[in-house]
Amino acid sequence: MLLGVQIRAAANEADSFLQVVKGDADQVVSIREGTNDIEVKVDAPDGSSSTYVVSVYKPSAADTSLRSLSFSAGSLRPDYHRAETRYLLQIVANAKAISCEAPPLNPKATVVISSSHPETEKQKVGLFLGDTDIEFIVASADKTSTQTYRVTARKEPKLAATSPWELALVDKKASSVSIDSCITAASQRESTYVQSLKKALQVSADTFGQSSVRPDTTLLDEAAALYATATAINNEAKATKGGAWDEILHVRLGLALEETALCNEAFPLPALSKTERAEVNENGAAAESFMSDEVDGLLEQLGVDKSANDPTKIRAIEAEYHRLLALGLSDEAAEVQGLHGWLIRKVASSSPVSGWNSSKGANAVTNLSAMHIVEKYRDALGINPASADANLHLGRHLLQIGQAGEAAKHLRTALGQKPMSKYARAMLGVALLSTCTAATPTEGLQEGISYLEETLEEYNLSTIRPQTPVTDEGMLTDRFASLYLTEMHLILAQAYRYNNQPVKSAAILSDLLYILPDILHRTPRRSTRVAKLALAMCTAQSSLLKVLRRCPGQSSKLRMRSILNSLLRLTRRCMTRFNVQDSIQNMATDTAEVVAQALVALEPRNCMFLSALGSSQLDQFDKNYVYLNDVKKIDEAEQSFLAAIEAEDGHLASEDATVPPGRVKEQKWCIQWHQEASTLKTKQLAQTSKEPKPGVAKAGAKTPAKPIVSKPAAAKVAPSILPSKPAPPKPAAAKPNVGKPVASTTAPGNRRAESAARKTAI
């Protein structure tokens, strides 16, 4: 423990006399806890004197102050003082994490850093898009007291530079229009588009998907141009006159672009004749060759090598575009802008998006459209990180590309802003359950399950009760219940399976298989959407196989046998019929392999199923860009074919018939299958052990045991004449309820009962 401080001082003149007041011969001054003022007196030869005061602070054992508080980025307001415990740290919008230093004033005190962000380590704190609360809890050296310093890290609103593709949408004559007029005109076009959408959907349903009627997507293009123009006016006003950015403009532009992509997916473009196709291909080849030469020439001028990767080329051309625009060379900038757009389309077309979570078949769009849509949602969040709409739509898009963890953060933010939003609750449920595995505790599944149960129950009621408000109105982006219906069923069934509820899982999958044919009949036949629905039917059948084997009753076993006999034929038919859908080719090959894996897992020695597994793995190598040049897929296909040959010859009695022959059991999917089965069995045993056995009192019960009183044995009589309570009177026969709809209170797992009720009402 520090008892004193030695003061070392020297006078400016040699003849002067220096004295440390209250110091000993070695100029050591004793100090106590708290502030100590030490005086140093200097007497000059002419008789004048000066006194200097040195303040020394000695922290006590109960001190809970910080010596300093510093961060790797941002500006702290107010400046740090140990008596101030609340601060605001302003940070740039693109910062993802910061490092902090907070040493205690007393070296023996301890400091614990905590944050509202989950990615927080010892001295590194992750940052949310909006505010992130950081706490520094100081415990005194004697462990008698604590003090908390609170810092709110706030990201400053920041808007990224406008991309060339967005500038191409802007009306160059926008000087005479206003933001309000652009929004009004865009809203009118969207309303007209909604009417054409309703008509197209009705005609498609009436003709069982054979109609070629499409909504008027040119209205969406005009609306997107108007929103882009309004955004440009807003940016210019912010730069010249100040004011605020409007994040809603960016959200609406993103929604207009997304609606166009979804409409093109749901309603195919008219088919061209053979002559028209040949002419388009010939003209397209010539145009592609010309644009390729132009891009190569521009890159050569910019000093970019042809062997550079695509992102480097795109960034170089984009930088040249902004340089020309800054110099006022608008015509040259427009030419570079066209080359920039062509190169992005070329790169995007070489790597199509597979769909929901890369294989689960939802509403993915091409990479080019997806990049633009996500860019606008991120721009909106850069302006207002707490925007409910921007968080909702960005989270939904992240969910589509498989980033469920990050998507859940945005969706939870959206739900915090709008707690009663059905859209946000449904999407958050999908995001939460998408990250779950068989090892996830039951408590971790309940929130997502509850969100999806309420969404599906409300959707089922809306299809039966005429008085129930219909949620699926407006544009396709607003029709979340039907747009993500298959995904919600599949994810909820998987969660039930992980929660050891196979009967509920089978009921949800049965509901989906019951309603899918009707949806398929009402969807345009040549659309990408109908192909995805057909593949979802195959996925649901394979998922049903996983749970039926754990369901009690002979009917479950018979149904599983029926699916085993027909699923492979159904999948091959879907693959053949929708083979022309190049945009979902990888989704189709993924589905075929998943189906084959489920069949092999249930009948490991079936040579036909093993051959189907080998064929699907070979198709993955040939047709799925994810496995392009992946030799491992070729090896897996060879292992499956060799196993099929071995299975055809039968197996010895000493061999394990519950695993596939050869090296198929070493493939990753097979190992995961058995690990999941083992984990679920362990969870089921743990749940069973916690349930009290009937007729057995709990340990430690304090209720005294009742004495046993002997009674005379009663005469043995037939069970039917044993004394009992009088039977309740029989209810009167129910009158037929003609002309009134039958109200249904069934859960999402009783779709057939609801349909029967509807028919009875009719």
pLDDT single digits (tens) 396-425: 888 877 788 888 989 999 999 899 899 999
Q: In whole angstroms, what is the distance from residue 691 CA to residue 351 CA?
A: 52
Stronger pLDDT, 653 or 106, i.e. the higher one: 106
Note whether residue 11 is domain-resident. yes
Encode pLDDT of 618-639 as tens digits: 988 888 877 877 788 899 999 9
CA pair distance 505, 449, nearest whole angstrom: 11
Q: What is the pLDDT of residues 466-482, one digit of tens each?
A: 555 545 578 888 887 77
Q: Which of 25-29, 95-99, 249-253, 580-584 has the highest mean pLDDT?
A: 249-253
pLDDT single digits (tens) 657-692: 778 888 899 999 999 998 988 888 888 887 777 666
- Euclidean distance between the first and final Cα of the chain, in Å? 90
Give the tokens for residue 21: 């007041």
The pLDDT, as a whole number, for residue 581 is: 56
The H or E element spanning position 547 is helix 528-548
pLDDT score at 195: 93
555-563 average pLDDT score: 92
Q: Which of 133, 155, 177 is the last residue of a domain?
A: 155
Q: What is the pLDDT of residue 279?
A: 60
Residue with token string 């040579």: 607
The answer to whether 376 and 256 have CB atoms below 8 angstroms apart is no
Q: What is the CATH number of the domain that holds 149?
A: 2.60.40
The residue to which tokens 């189907």 are assigned: 612
| Rounded distance between C-alpha atoms, residue 455 and residue 460, angstroms | 9
210 falls within a domain? no
- Here the tokens at position 702 are 């304090």
Domain boundary among 35, 58, 81: 58
pLDDT at 486 over 80: yes
Identify whether 78 is preceded by a cis peptide bond (ω within 30 of 0).
Answer: yes
Residues 147 and 89 in one domain: yes
> pLDDT tens digits, residue range 233-279?
888 887 777 778 888 999 999 999 989 988 988 888 765 555 655 56
Check whether residue 84 and residue 45 sit in a common domain: no
| 146 assigned to some structural domain | yes
- What are the φ and ψ backbone dihedral angles of 446, each rounded to 5 degrees? -65, -40
**490-505: average pLDDT:** 93
Query: 18 lies in a domain?
Result: yes
Structure-block tokens of residue 276: 């028209």
Of residues 733 and 87, the one with the higher pLDDT is 87
Comparison of pLDDT for 221 and 276, the residue scoring more: 221
545 neighbors 567 (Cβ within 8 angstroms)? yes
Q: At 119, phi and psi to the nearest 5?
A: -90, 70
Residue 532 has pLDDT above 50, yes or no: yes
Q: Sign of torsion, CA 256 258 262 267?
A: positive
User: Helical H runs in 327-417?
Assistant: 330-349, 367-383, 388-400, 404-417
More confident residue, 373 or 24: 373
Q: Which own/partner contact pairs does 555-560 have at CB distance under 8 Å and 24+ positions apart?
A: 556/506, 560/602
Instruction: Using pLDDT thresholds of 50, 70 and 90, give the confidence band for residue 578.
Output: low
One-letter amino acid at 135 equals E
How far is Cα 434 from Cα 402, in angstroms, rounded to an integer?
Answer: 9
Cα–Cα distance, 111 to 148 (Å, whole number): 9
CA dist., res. 527 & res. 213, Å (int): 12
Once rounded to an integer, what is the mean pLDDT over residues 483-493?
A: 91
pLDDT over 80 at 459, yes or no = yes
Q: Which helix (H) or strand (E) holds 401?
A: none
Half-sphere exposure of 82 (CA within 13 A, CB side): 14
Residue 81 placed within a domain: yes
Residue 693's pLDDT band (boundaries 50, 70, 90)? low
Per-position b or e across 344-366, b if 16+ CB within 10 A of its CB: beebbeeebbbbbbebbbbbbbb
Predicted confidence at residue 509, as pLDDT, reads 95
Residue 502 lies in a domain: no
Of 261, 339, 354, nearest in space to 301 by CA:
339
DSSP state of 163: P
Which of 90, 85, 222 has the alpha carbon at shortest distance from 156?
A: 90
- The amino acid at residue 644 is A
> How many CB atoms are located within 10 Å of the residue 506 CB?
24
Specify which residues 153 forms β-bridges with.
Answer: 89, 132
Burial (CB count within 10 angstroms: exposed 0-12, middle 13-18, buried 19+), residue 549: middle
Please write down the HEC assignment for all residues of 403-416. CHHHHHHHHHHHHH
Range of the domain at 12: 4-58
Q: Coil, helix or strand for 137?
A: strand
Averaged pLDDT for residues 331-347: 75
Confidence bin at 159 (pLDDT 50/70/90)? low
pLDDT at 466: 55
Residue with the two structure tokens 């230093």 = 101
Fill in the amino acid letter for 603: E
Q: What is the pLDDT of residues 277-290, one digit of tens each?
A: 556 556 666 777 77
Domain match, 337 and 295 both: yes
Q: How many domains does the chain have?
A: 3
Residue 132 in any domain: the answer is yes
Mean pLDDT in residue range 298-318:
80
Q: Which two tokens stand for residue 411?
A: 């969706």
The CA radius of gyration of the chain, in Å to the nearest whole number, is 36
Looking at residue 541, its pLDDT comes to: 94
50 and 75 inside one domain:
no
Is the backbone peptide bond immediately before 694 cis, with ω within 30 degrees of 0? Answer: no
pLDDT of 506 strictly over 80: yes
Express as a percent the part of the chain with pLDDT over 90. Answer: 24
- What pLDDT is recorded for position 364? 37
| SS3 category, 661 | coil
Say what the pLDDT of residue 390 is.
Answer: 92
Answer yes or no: is 43 within a domain: yes
Q: The whole model's pTM is what?
A: 0.67
Confidence of residue 167 (pLDDT cuts 50, 70, 90): confident
| Per-residue pLDDT at 497 | 93
pLDDT at 743 over 50: no
| Residue showing tokens 């009695």 | 653
C-alpha dihedral, 353 to 354 to 359 to 362, nearest 10°: 90
Residue 719: its pLDDT value, please?
38
Give tens-digit pLDDT for 708-719.
Answer: 444 444 443 333
Mean pLDDT on 699-726: 43
Taking a C-beta distance cutoff of 8 angstroms, is the pair 535, 587 a contact?
yes
Q: What is the mean pLDDT of residues 203-227?
A: 89
d(CA 712, CA 19): 111
Mean pLDDT, all residues of the chain: 79
Q: State which amino acid sits at residue 175.
A: S
CA distance 120 to 267: 47
- Distance, in Å, from the CA atom of 92 to the CA atom of 153, rounded to the nearest integer, reads 10
Alpha carbons 220 and 415: distance in angstroms, whole number: 28
Q: How confident is the model at residue 389 (pLDDT cuts 50, 70, 90)?
A: very high
pLDDT of residue 240: 77
- Strongest mean pLDDT among 370-384, 487-501, 624-638: 487-501
- Structure token digits, residue 89: 């740290």
Is residue 50 domain-shared with residue 107, that is, in the same domain? no
Alpha-carbon dihedral 118, 120, 126, 129, rounded to 10 degrees: 30
Q: Tell me the one-letter amino acid at 701.
A: A
For 330, the token pair is 């608008």
Q: What is the pLDDT of residue 714?
A: 44
Q: Do both 40 and 95 map to the same domain?
A: no
Number of H helices, E strands in the chain: 22, 13
Q: Give the other-Cβ count within 10 Å of 12's Cβ.
A: 9
Which of 300, 331, 351 is the last residue in one of the domains?
A: 351
- How far is residue 163's CA from residue 151's CA, in Å, rounded to a whole number? 35
Nearest of 184, 249, 246, 258 to residue 220 by alpha carbon:
258
Residues 6+ apart with CB under 8 A from 490: 360, 509, 512, 536, 539, 540, 543
Across residues 101-128, what is the average pLDDT? Answer: 80
Q: In what order do the strands lie in the sheet with 146-155?
A: 75-77, 86-91, 146-155, 131-139, 110-115
pLDDT: which is higher, 285 or 426 = 426
pLDDT (0 to 100) of residue 161: 60
- Average pLDDT on 280-307 reads 76
